[in-house]
Structures are given as structure tokens and as C-alpha cells.
A and B are shown apart, each in its own frame.
Chain A
Amino acid sequence: MQLKPSTGRAGRWLAPAALALVSGLYGVASRTDVLPEDRADAQASHYSGGGQDINGLSFLVRKKVGDHVSLSYSHLEDIVSGASIDVRTSGASPYREKRTQDGLTGEFLYGKTTYTLGVTHSYEPDYRSNTGNFGISQSMFGDLTTISMTYRRTWNDVFKMECLIDDKALNYPCVEKVHDPGFGKKDMDERSYGVGLTQILTRNSLIAADLEVITDQGWLSNPYRSVMYADPSGGASLAAEIDPSTRTSNALGLDYKYFLPWRAALDLQYRYFEDTWHIRAHTAQLGYSQPWRSWTFDTSFRFYVQSHADFYSDLFASANQQNFMSRNRELSSFDSLTVGAGASYQFKMPYAPFLSKSTANIRFDHFFFDYKDFRDALLIDPSKGVVAGTEPLYKVQLNVMQLFLSVWY
């Protein structure tokens, strides 16, 4: 199967629109705007489900320097352990892996224009990523309207790990891993172009709209994932997945907030997504925030549905059925529902008079994933009449717990 080449069509149309916007900004009078508040956040998170556990720690610090500059630094560490259905289907052992990410961002205020410049570095044993991003935003019409433009460029290096020393008696049998020299290092570059609009509609409501075009080029496959093709015995055999080397996507997000008369906030979000792999997705989210004394309670319902990539199949007829083949379940057809709730308690930190406000926060989210054309291959058993392609569809539920502390100074 031959895919249409990625033309970056929307990117070309974006240029004249951006020029029109920029030229429009020059006609607006300049006034002082504000930088983000000085604050620090520390978070512990736990993700579980689908055979995987991910424990994370992160912190974020923001500090103004003078009247025109705000700097922020973030650090994140995740430890992934276990084995997802992909790992178990391929016959590999459970593994344990650490990811770290550091980011530094500067915001520079000049009149009513804010310039943002940031860099991020992410490290995993088999995935290294460096990102640079630049943004500009402008308030206008008496601060009723803010328009922004962003550009982000990411350089990724993809490796494949192979086990050098293993001990089958351990929970995580691989004792020492090295980069697979046969795979080498693959490059993947990403560019993102975004425009955004935030608009105050009434004294009770405001809306934000973001349009983002992202284009990828390079190694877009996953070195560990396999496709399945039917074999005559009723079982299935595995072959390496082959994804196209380009992908361009468009996403339009809308976020509407409404202040209710009894001091509560309603949040409605919608996002439409499409890409050159012919995936279409819709995301809708309803959120509600209710303060009560020193507490603020939040709840949210998020529904997501997507169609599959046109080179995706749960089971191919043969190992070389077409030039691009994937059984990546993130590219399959599925829907998911996420139900979340959180509570935040505001208090005065003892022995810290320099802190103006502190909050202790807890949040829990539960995910239901319902796959429409991705089957649980672990249940294939021709001896019991369950041949490849007839096994039950895969469903999974995930939990995410977050605990975090925020202080303002």
C-alpha cells in the first residue's frame, strides 16, 4: 500500500495567515502586561494498568527577575516497570527503565508583548530528545484579546536496547543492557507551528482556541513493536513494523470557561485532530471546579475517539502484504473515557513567612480504553479453537494518582 506523501499543506497556508496577524499587531497600542506568578511545585505520581507501573517525581520553579523577565526550570524523573501487552506478545521479559527530562524557559515582557524561549532535554536509555521552542503573544483591545504564535523544533535519537546479561530468576531479568549495534541510531525530527487566540467574551466567560500543525520526519516506527500475520496452523507469526517516514498532523483545540453565579467554574473543551496517516480523532472534556472554604474540588470527564491509520491492521495476511504495516495499538481504532477528581487545600506554611500562599493537592484519574480492532493476542490458542483474528478485543483500565505541593512567594 502506498501512502500519499506528506505535503505540509496546512503549513503552507499558515504562512500568509501568520503574516496577516503579525502585520495586524503593529497597529495596536502598547501597554504593560503581566508575567506569570512566582511559584514552585513538587509532584509525585503513580500510573498503573495494562501490566505497567510508572512512578514519577517532578518539580517546577518559576521566578521573576526584575520587571521584564520570568525564568522557569522543570525536572522530571519517571521509572517505568513491568510489561505492556506489546512486550508480552513479542515474548520479551518485563523491564525497568528510567526517563529524565529537564526544561528551562524564559519569558520576556516588552510592553504588551511576551516572548517565550525554551529548551528541553529528555533522556531514556533508548530515546534522547532535544527541543527548542519560541513563542510570541500579544494582548490587545484593552486586554480582551491575546494572540500567540509558537514554533517548536525537536531532534530525537532512537536506539534499540538488547540484553547483554540476564538472570531469569529476577523479576526484571535483564541485568545489563546495551545499544543494539545492528539497529544503530535513527533520527527523528519534529517541527510544530501553532497559533492561538484567547478572548474574553463576557464578564463571566472566556474562550481559547489553538491551531497546531506538527510535522515529523525520520524513524517513526517503534523498534520493539511487531506486526502479526496469520500462519497456516491458526496461530500468528511476528515481523517488524514499518511505518512511513513522514507524518503531518493538524489539531484545533477550543477551551471555554464559564464562571457560575455561586462561585464555581465550568470548563468545556473540544479538539479535532487529523493527520496524513488518515487518523481522525475527537476529544471532548467537561470540567467543574468548586471552591469551599480553604478547599477547591475539581472533577472532569474526558471522552476520546479515534479511527485507525490506513496502514494499521491487527492481523496481516503475510509478512510482506504491503510496504507500510503497523500493529501499534495507539494507531488503531478505539475510544476512551477518563474520569478524574481532585482536591486542593490552601494553607499558610508554618515557619515560612516569605511564602504568600501554599496548597496541598491530590488528583486521581481513571481511564477506560476500549479497542475496536486491536485484539488480545495472548489469548490465541488454536488447540481450543481460538485462532488468530478471533481472539477477544483488548480492553484496559488505567489509574493515575498525583500528589503535589504548590507554594507562591
Chain B
Amino acid sequence: MSIARRMVGLIAAVGLYLQLCACSPLEPWVKPYERERLADPIMAFDRNPISSAYMDHVFEVRNAARGGNGAAGGGCGCN
């Protein structure tokens, strides 16, 4: 079974689980007032978007692998 099929199965299971949970509220285990550290700029997934977009492009044209990082691209620049 490929990793993609396993992941899709997992996502489907999560979706069904969410449906079941929709009837009763789920208590967040990290309260809003406990998220000070997570809100620190150094914890951002993409703190410098102009820099990460540039590096994503460099990696994409030098490697065969692509995707899986949430980036939207365009163009080639690969001759």
C-alpha cells in the first residue's frame, strides 16, 4: 500500500471522526492564554515569506521532488 493511499485513508478517518465529534464540543487542551510561546514570531512556519518563496524555487528547479510544502509556484527558470 503506497504512502499516499495510507495518508488518504488517515485523512478520511480524521474527517469521519470530526463528524462524530460535531455533536459535542471538544475542549481545547491548550487554552488561548497558554499560547504566548506559540505566538512568538520565531514559531511561525513562514516568518520570511519572500525568502522562503525564493528558496522553494531554487530547490524545485534543482531537485525532482516537488510539493508537500504548501507553496504555489509558477515559471521554470531551469535551463
Contacts and interface: CB of A to CB of B under 8 A. Distances in A.
Tell whether A pairs with B.
Answer: yes
Contact of A17 (B12, B25, B75): B12
Given A80-B79, A143-B28, A144-B30, A60 B40 contact: no
A58 B11 CA distance: 37
Contacts of A99: 75, 77
A330 B64 contact: yes
Contact of B74 (A58, A131, A208): A131
A14 B62 CA distance: 28
Nearest to A39: B49
Contact of B67 (A121, A131, A251): A251
Nearest to B5: A13
A24 B15 contact: yes
Q: In which size bucket is the chain B interface?
A: 35 or more
A13 B22 contact: no
Contacts of A283: 65
Contacts of B29: 144
A380 to B, nearest CB: 23
A200 B58 contact: no
A331 B64 contact: yes
Interface in A247-280: 249-253, 255, 257, 259, 263-265, 271-275, 277, 279
A257 B76 CA distance: 31
Contacts of B42: 259, 263-265, 289, 291, 296
B74 A43 contact: no
Nearest to A13: B8
Nearest to A273: B65
Interface string B13-32: 01111110111011111111
Interface string B31-51: 110110110111101011111
Given A131-B72, A249-B67, A56 B79 contact: no
Given A20-B19, A250-B3, A306 B64 contact: yes
A299 interface: no
Nearest to A211: B7
Contact of B40 (A21, A47, A259): A259
A87 to B, nearest CB: 8
A189 interface: no
Contacts of A212: 67-70
A365 interface: yes
A41 B50 contact: yes
A400 B14 CA distance: 40
A253 B69 contact: yes
A179 B30 CA distance: 59
Nearest to A253: B68
B77 A124 contact: yes
Contacts of A123: 75
A404 B51 contact: yes
Interface of A: 9-10, 13-14, 16-17, 19-29, 41-43, 45, 47, 54, 56, 58-60, 74, 78, 80, 84, 86-87, 97, 99, 101, 103, 118, 120-124, 126-127, 129-131, 133, 140-144, 148, 150, 152, 154, 156, 192, 194-198, 200, 202-204, 206, 208, 210-214, 222, 224, 249-253, 255, 257, 259, 263-265, 271-275, 277, 279, 281, 283, 289, 291, 296, 304, 306, 309, 330-331, 336, 342, 344, 361, 363, 365, 367, 369, 398, 400, 402, 404, 406
10 contacts: A120-B73, A122-B75, A130-B74, A131-B72, A194-B67, A202-B30, A211-B4, A250-B67, A271-B68, A279-B65
